[in-house]
Structure 1
Amino acid sequence: MIISSTTALSLRIVCRCRGDALSGNVPVGQETMQPETLEITNKLLDARPAALVKAEADTGNPLAALDYRVRLYHAPAAATPETQAMAHAMLVLWYIEHFRGSDKSIVARYLFAGAYHANESARIIQPVLPKGSAQLPELEFLYADVFKAFEDRKKQMSKEGEKMAVKRMERPLNYRCANPICPIESDASRILKQCSGACDKDKKSSYCSRECQRADWKNHKPFCKSGAPCSVIDREFVSPAARHVVPTGSISMPMGGINASSSTMTPEFMKEIKEQLDELIRTGGRR
């Protein structure tokens, strides 16, 4: 295969710089090029700028793709961690744009490549992220609309969370399985099924499954009639962690020191995972 002159020169520079760094002649991150080599490289880069090479690579040209990849490859040798993190972040955007093929199908290699660059960007930037960088005035000045939208969304979610908290406090029976030994909760009243008996509407018990309803029937049966008190003694049993959330139609339960939540798992499957996790914690991972 014939390699373009820019790519060949870039490869030579990379190999020499990397080799010098590995041999100890030049510290990693401080590789340099000879003036004549730098001059030739600049002329070639001016003749074929990165935008042109990238456009050719996007059309499927393998030589242009190699050329562009080499350019991206040798730059990190002398780049600071901040620069490397930004480069990875920029590549994420490229892969997002090409995530779907011409036939709208997912291109797996772009998915994995994008995930790799996102992971590398986060990994590199964490140790060097300036303190208070989330509040950089330059960012807020340059991207005021983004920050305003972000703050507006936080306020909206906070209000929705407050409304949800009030609803849960008013009718906690709708959001927690009434079986005393079941820790399943829901973030929406429609998820759990209420008793269909004659008990008053505001005193009806809710259950995550028929198994839990059958298990609690002996306790609930004497109260399953009009005018009877509620069979659930503790009506404030909904956990605080579940009170301030915007409903998504999911169930949750304490698991391994955290409050696990899912909108796709069944209560039975979530309980099985909890049992296995508790066993692993109890035995220290030993079978």
Structure 2
Amino acid sequence: MASIEFHAEYVRKYNALPRRPKAPSGRVPNVWHFDLRYIPISPPSHMLFIFQKDSQLIASQTLPVTEKLDETGLAYFPETAEQAALEICLGLMHYFISGSGVGPNAPWSLTTDDLDLARAVQAQFKALGVKEERCQVNYVGNITGLVQYHFNDLYEGMKGMLDYSLVARAALTTPQSIAFSNMSRPDSNAWAFSVPPSFYRDEPEMKEVQKLADYVRDFANNEPTPVNQDASPDFQTRFSRTLEQVKAVVDTNTLDQVRKKADAGDPQQAIDAALRLKYGLQCNQDATLSRDYLIKAALDREALVHVRSMAHSMLVSWYIAGRGDDFRVRYLFAASYHADEAIRLVSENSPLCSASPAVLGFGSGAFANMTVDLKVPELLVHFKWIVKASEQRTMYMKLQDDAFKKKMMKKPNRYRCANLGCGIESDTGKMLSQCAGQCDRDKKPSYCSKTRPYIKPTRNITCLFHFTEKEDWKIHKPFCRPGAPCSVIDTTINPGGAANAQGSIRLPVHHANGSTTVISTSTLDPELLKQMRDVALQHEDGSFGKRTRIEILEI
């Protein structure tokens, strides 16, 4: 972003410009309209559109305006009019100082079609030290259609410069001006936590340990791997070891120390700072600042592509989590761009794509929902890497699923929890425990009481156990003898899912609309998985249900 000295120089030049009621031609009022738009053409940016109604003169300025010509616009993503105002003021001053089309003259007055933006820009002009009479910004709402008409002409010209087919260009829709006045802020918890906040314990110490665990899980969930590769066999061991290592780092290095290194250009420290700020790990939560550090890492051309890919992957959830029904299209485009870049960086020199679980989840979730019926067809035009990686992953999952179903058909009891209504399934028998009674081996019920790690704040990280044998014993007891028939009531084989070389559990979630979500995990315990299912079903019309209504959700 521009420096204070840069701001002051613009203000000095702007205040010195001549200002008259009429434009230099003397025939039309010197009144100018402006708005802000998101341009999804790669690399995406925000554009300031400037329009003079009477002369129909148009101009545009990519934001932010900086002294560095090569600085990207990705860092600028205002969520409020106040966040947008500074760069808009600089953009307007830049246009009039440069004298593009009309000579160096200040406008007599400015207008915009968003009330919050009008107030914020006016206040920002005053804060910068612009002369009082040049700060006025009026709200007008009766020329939006005319402004859109002229911006469409500009955008058609931009589309014509792209190396796209005529069909692809036709799919690109003209961006609308951004409305800040009715924009709601997202639920920070939805972005900050990997599971709903209700799953967290009330004890402060437990919350800190859970934040630490989420930090580690988030890091792992955004590491790119080949799309035909699942979690490594020693995931739980590595998770516990990494948890201890991260705790040691957090305890010995303050956020200020980490931020200092990140600001000096260390991309790995930038990711560390971003995750701490995301979860409020020994600091106050700050979603905006967390994003700033992820952008630093993602755009660092000197960083390893693996690190940059992770940063792009982590940015995806910032744009989509917790948005609910107020999900603006620019957030979808921005999330898609970062997901696409996360894949491209680690895949462009290989026939097989690599992607993080988070990016693959986005590709099969929000992205697929907006493209399957061509709701937003231009996503398919801009983001080819998401499409390619998703197709390769789907093909791999189908092969794994076919093998998994054949395996379950031979011994359904061995790979499904016998407790009625539980629904937990496993890809390997070792993930479930079996009855130790006298029943025949091929009739023995299995249970999801196999150890799954649940973090407990003790000196050494330990695990809790959940036993479901007791719940099923009243059903199985009469059958727990040699020669007795099988007591398992439900042996349904659910569609979806895949074998995991490391061992995982999964839980089908059947929605009221007939769709099925299969939540597959190698990191969560069965009880937590069932709680997630219950929350998803309780919020069938809410954001959690919408977010999980995909074919496969890997955690």
TM-score (ref. length: structure 2): 0.31
Matches within 5 A, 1:50-89: 50-51=69-70, 80=155
| Contact preservation (8 Å) 2:415, 2:425 | yes
Deviations, residues 206-235 of structure 1 (Å, cap 9, x unaligned):
11246531222233233333444322255x
How many angstroms does 1:261 deviate by?
2.0
**2:519 aligned partner:** 261
CA distance in 2, matches of 1:11, 1:161: 65
User: Does 2:470 align with 1:214?
Assistant: yes
Counterpart of 1:238, as a letter, is I
**2:498 aligned partner:** 245
CA distance in 2, matches of 1:123, 1:221: 56
Matches within 5 A, 1:192-211: 192-209=432-449, 211=467
Counterpart of 1:249, as a letter, is S
CA distance in 2, matches of 1:130, 1:153: 21
SS at structure 2 position matched to 1:21: strand
How many angstroms does 1:100 deviate by?
3.6
CA distance in 2, matches of 1:49, 1:3: 11
**1:90 aligned partner:** none
Give structure 2 stretches of 5+ with no counterpart. Answer: 16-29, 36-49, 76-85, 96-147, 156-171, 177-264, 278-288, 296-314, 321-329, 337-369, 450-465, 541-555
**1:232 aligned partner:** 488
| Contact preservation (8 Å) 2:51, 2:59 | no
How many angstroms does 1:176 deviate by?
1.9
Matches within 5 A, 1:151-230: 153-209=393-449, 211-230=467-486
SS at structure 2 position matched to 1:105: helix
How many angstroms does 1:181 deviate by?
3.9
The 1:177–1:20 alpha-carbon spacing in structure 2 relative to 1, beyond 3 Å, is same
| Contact preservation (8 Å) 2:33, 2:51 | yes
CA distance in 1, matches of 2:268, 2:8: 31
The 1:222–1:10 alpha-carbon spacing in structure 2 relative to 1, beyond 3 Å, is farther
Give structure 1 stretches of 5+ with no counterpart. Answer: 39-43, 58-65, 86-97, 282-287
Deviations, residues 53-99 of structure 1 (Å, cap 9, x unaligned):
56xx9xxxxxxxx99x967xx99x967476979xxxxxxxxxxxx89
Counterpart of 1:171, as a letter, is K
CA distance in 1, matches of 2:90, 2:524: 45
| Contact preservation (8 Å) 2:507, 2:530 | no
**1:2 aligned partner:** 5
Identity between Structure 1 and Structure 2 (%): 26
TM-score (ref. length: structure 1): 0.53
For the pair shown, the structure with the greater C-alpha radius of gyration is 1
**2:33 aligned partner:** 20
CA distance in 2, matches of 1:239, 1:208: 17
CA distance in 1, matches of 2:392, 2:539: 43
CA distance in 1, matches of 2:509, 2:317: 31
| Contact preservation (8 Å) 1:220, 1:231 | yes
The 1:104–1:272 alpha-carbon spacing in structure 2 relative to 1, beyond 3 Å, is closer
| Contact preservation (8 Å) 1:82, 1:128 | no
Deviations, residues 116-171 of structure 1 (Å, cap 9, x unaligned):
8855352589698447x74x6x998xx8xx95x76555433322221111111111
CA distance in 2, matches of 1:167, 1:160: 11
| Contact preservation (8 Å) 2:291, 2:318 | no
Counterpart of 1:21, as a letter, is F
Counterpart of 2:406, as a letter, is V
**1:105 aligned partner:** 272
| Contact preservation (8 Å) 1:176, 1:185 | yes
The 1:154–1:216 alpha-carbon spacing in structure 2 relative to 1, beyond 3 Å, is closer
| Contact preservation (8 Å) 1:175, 1:189 | yes
The 1:212–1:105 alpha-carbon spacing in structure 2 relative to 1, beyond 3 Å, is closer
How many angstroms does 1:197 deviate by?
2.2
SS at structure 1 position matched to 2:469: helix
SS at structure 2 position matched to 1:215: helix
Counterpart of 1:268, as a letter, is E
| Contact preservation (8 Å) 1:194, 1:207 | yes
CA distance in 2, matches of 1:10, 1:186: 69
How many angstroms does 1:180 deviate by?
2.4
| Contact preservation (8 Å) 1:100, 1:106 | no
| Contact preservation (8 Å) 1:185, 1:252 | yes
CA distance in 1, matches of 2:51, 2:423: 60
User: Does 2:332 align with 1:122?
Assistant: yes
| Contact preservation (8 Å) 1:193, 1:208 | yes
| Contact preservation (8 Å) 1:10, 1:70 | no
The 1:115–1:202 alpha-carbon spacing in structure 2 relative to 1, beyond 3 Å, is same
Q: Please state which structure has a larger fraction of its residues in strand.
A: 2
Question: How many residues get paired?
Answer: 228
